[in-house]
Structures are given as structure tokens and as C-alpha cells.
Structure 1
Amino acid sequence: MSYAGADHVHWDQRDGRVAAVAAAVVFSFWVVEVVLPGVGAAQGVLADPATSFGRFLDGAHRVASILAVLAAALGLSLGARWSRRWLTVSWASMAVFGAASLTASLLPGPCVVSTDVACAAESLVEGLAGATVAQAVVAVVAMLASLLGVVSLAVSLRLHRKRSWIPVAAVAAVQTVVVVAVLVLAGRMLAADGSGAPGVTLGLLERAHLVTVALWLLSAGVLPGPWKRPPHDGRTAPGRV
């Protein structure tokens, strides 16, 4: 963050890029669970809210959500222009993702990870204290927004002939498979009135989704393309999207 005067704060691209990378790192904090005794991927939910790790992860995801919103706001104001439609969609999707993730983390309920749709579904069918339909719905919105964000980023990079579109498209493809699988399995669990627990499969899928989210945010932060302003001050050039 650079300062243009004693009482004026000037934001630049570096702030947005750092925010996106920091959000990616914080959304990856769940990996700490693999080294904690009694915690692991064999459980359906990502963390027990009654544990110190659960409370840590809850706070970490709130911070990551705020960082994602900040990165998106700076991306829209400093990087994208309306002539670059797909990039604008990507930044807007990141803003929705961050806002939905933050909202879900503030709602009452036993789920400490805001995008954990499996936990939200299981909490509903088991009638756990604080479980609400709103948390499940907002978690789904966050998940779909992240998917739209990474897909539109890959499309934007491809249309602007950036070689980086290939790894981003790979992340988008994996996230698409994971999101569809999570939503289908969570829907089946709800339809079965809780007779099927999330178990290992949904637990692993939720973790895989967080990996793709982190890779998307990391890509948005480190790749130079999303932060380059188009020429002619936002006027649409032939062939631009």
C-alpha cells in the first residue's frame, strides 16, 4: 500500500495481488488437521467446532473471506475494465464468493468452514442446534461463485492468448467435477433424511474443493494478466472480450 499524502491512502495492484495470495494461503490452513491427533480426513466435516483447531479454522476462514472481497474489489477497480467482460465476471464472482463465505461463517450453526456444504446438509438432517437452511444455501452460493470465478478467469486468459489459461482451466475442470459431486452427494443425503452420513467421500471432496479454491485465488494473485489494464482507457478494441 503506497501513500499519496499524509491523510490519503492510495491502493495499487500490489495490495490486491497480496490479498488474493494471502486468501489462498489462509484457505489452505485446513491442512494443519493432518498433523493433529484425532483429526483427519476420515471425518465428514472439516473440523469440530468444539476444538481449538475448529475455532482457529473458523476465524481463519473469516479472514480469508475478507481478503477475497478486498482482492476482488481492487481487481475490479485497478485491473479489469468493462471491455474485458470475462475478467470482470471473474472478479465479481470472487467478490460474491468472499461475501457469501463470510456470511455463512457468521450464521449460527456447527460448521466452521463456510463452504462445507456436507456439514451444513448433515446438520440439517440431524437437527443439530443452530443449523439453518440459510447456512446451507449460502454455502452453495459460495461454492458456485468460486466455480464461476475460476471458469471465467480461464476463459479470459484463453481469449487474451495467455499460456497460463491451461493450468487455470485444469483447476476449473477439477473444481467442476468436485462441485457437482459434492452437491449431488449432499442432495442425496438430504433426500435420504440423514440415513447416509457424509463420511470419507464427502470429507475428501470438501477438502479437494478448498484446494481448487486456493489455487484459483493464487492464480488470480500471481498471474499478471488479470491486473493489466486494456489499452485505450477501457474502450473495446477489435477482438477484445
Structure 2
Amino acid sequence: MPYSNTATLHWDYRDGRVAAVVAAVVYSMWTLEVVLPGGPGTATGALADPESTLGLVLDSAHRTAAILVVLAAGLGLTLGAKRPRSWLTVSWWSMAVFGAASLTASLLPGRCVVSTDAACTVESLVEGSQGATATQTVLAVVAALSALLASAALTRDRRRARERAWPALALITVAQAVAAVVVLVLAAMAYASSGDGSPGVALGLAERAHLVTVALWLLAVGVVPGQWKRSRGQRSTVRPAD
């Protein structure tokens, strides 16, 4: 009997690679603040006014990016490379947690249009902004730490597999670790000061730097092939029915 897949939705590991790359592009869309009206530049902590054109764009875009991250992680777990060691599995699951936490945070009310912006959520909380809750801060911290763990686990896996790209992954992981620590330290300082002073500029710059490292990590997830390719013995094929 001839085989036909016209009525079947077929997922391929390459869909996961594309999802990761598109998510990386979306997480870089904060750079539109340079050209769109309503962008705060680097003079404030928040990346954008939620009611501005840029704020509305980022709010929808980052929600979409979170969904793409979960999709990429799911395809990585089911259709990506399978190995006896566990580092790659840790990377995929951590990536899924990052996407899920980001998506959940993006659905909560508040003035922070970037769901992974721990600095903004803390500022909003200590300033008593309408809609700000401690849940958003917790989710933002979970997202930041999950992204870092995913990047570190992927780097470890690629190093053990002797992938040529592992030094680049290591640099991305180190940069992400530094940016995450700076964001969390500044956020803790803002919380300790109960909103006194004006740490907004430093928080804004740190969050932008962190978003750059997150985008680079997602780009590497999509571009580096080793975590997606299965060995010949593991490759599954769909055979026509007899």
C-alpha cells in the first residue's frame, strides 16, 4: 500500500532548531527601542512603557518566544539526540522550565513587558506598582536560573562529545552567568532599599545584557547540530505499510 502523510502532522527535529533560532531573534527585539516611539533608551530601568508601541510589541513577542522555547525543548527531548549520559537531558528540561516560567510570568498583570526581567519585577514590587506581585519576581528568577543551567548543561554535553563549538558555548554560559548575577544582585539591592534611590539605569543595562546572553544561548541551541543529530543506530524512519 502506498504511504501517504498528507493527513498527518509530521514534526521533525529541524522544527525544533528553527523554533530556537526564531526565539533568539524575538528575545533580541528589545533593540527596536532605538527606532520605535516610546522606547526608553538606557535612561530608565524598564525596557519599555507597557502602553507604548514598543511595550505592546514586546509583550506579545516575548509570550510567543516562550512558547517557541517550550516547543524547541519538547522536540529536543523527543526527536533530538539520545545518549546514555544525562547532561543533554538536563539541558532540555531546564530549557523547558525557562520557557514555561517565562510564559506564565507573561500572563500575569504588571508593568514589566519582558517576563524574564527580574530587575523590573523587583522594582515594580518595591515601588508598589499596580499589578506587581511576588509571584512574578519568583518566576523571573526561576527563568533566569533555568536558562543558565540549560546553557551550562549543554556546554558540558558538547564538551564531552568533543563538539568544536563547545568553547563558544562556554563563553556564552560565562557571559550569561555574569549577567544573571549582576541582575539578581542589583535586584536584591533594589529590594533592600525599598525603592529608595534611582537604580533604574543600572538595572536596565544589566537586563539588556542578560537578554543578549539568553538570545545567544537560544541561537546556539538552534545552530549547533550535535544535540539534535542522532546516531545512525538511533535514527528512526517511517516505513511504508506493506
**Number of the residue aligned with 2:53:** 52
Q: CA deviation at 1:12?
A: 0.7
Give the count of matched residue pairs. 232
- Higher alpha-carbon deviation: 189-198 or 214-223: 189-198
Please identify, of 128-137 and 83-92, the stretch whose mean Cα deviation from structure 2 is larger.
83-92
Tell me whether 7-16 or 34-43 shows the greater mean CA deviation. Answer: 34-43
Could you list the runs of 5+ residues in structure 2 that have no partner in the other structure?
236-242
Amino acid corresponding to residue 59 of structure 1 in structure 2: S
> What residue number does 1:179 align with?
180
Per-residue deviation, 1:82: 5.5
Report the equivalent of 1:26: 26
Q: How do 1:116-195 residues align onto structure 2 when only pairs under 5 Å count?
A: 116-195=117-196
Q: Report the CA distance between 1:187 and its aligned residue.
A: 0.6
User: Contact (CA 8 Å) 2:40, 2:46: kept in 1 or not?
Assistant: no
> What is the match of residue 238 of structure 1?
none
TM-score, normalising length: structure 2:
0.91
Match of 1:237 in 2: none
**How far apart are the structure 2 equivalents of 1:221 and 1:94?**
12
Q: 1:203 matched to which residue of 2?
A: 204
8 Å Cα contact 1:154/1:169 also seen in 2: yes
Once the two structures are superposed, what CA deviation does each residue of 1:169-196 show, in whole Å capped at 9, x if it has no partner? 0010011111111111101110111113
Contact 1:34 1:41 survives alignment (8 Å): no
Deviations 1:41-72 (A, max 9, x none): 22101111011110110000001000000000
Instruction: Indicate conservation of the 8 Å contact 1:79/1:228, yes or no.
Output: yes
1:197 deviates by 3.0
CA distance in 2, matches of 1:24, 1:100: 17
State the 1:231 CA deviation: 6.1
Confirm whether residue 8 of structure 1 aligns to residue 8 of structure 2: yes
**SS of 1:49's equivalent?**
coil
Do the aligned partners of 1:44 and 1:197 also contact (CA within 8 Å) in 2? no
Q: Give the 3 Å change call, closer, same or farther, for CA 85–109 of structure 1 in structure 2.
A: same
Runs of 4+ displaced beyond 6 Å: none
Taking the aligned partners of 2:85 and 2:63, their CA distance within structure 1 comes to 30
Whole-angstrom distance in 2 between the partners of 1:140 and 1:173: 17
1:191-227 per-position Cα deviation (integer Å, ceiling 9, x unaligned): 1111133322111110111111111111010111010
State percent identity of aligned pairs.
62
Match of residue 77 from structure 2: 76
Q: Is the 8 A contact 2:36 2:53 kept in 1?
A: no
- In structure 2, give the amino acid aligned to 1:7: A
Structure with bigger helix share is 1
Q: Which amino acid aligns with 1:191?
A: A
Coordinate RMSD, CA, aligned? 1.6
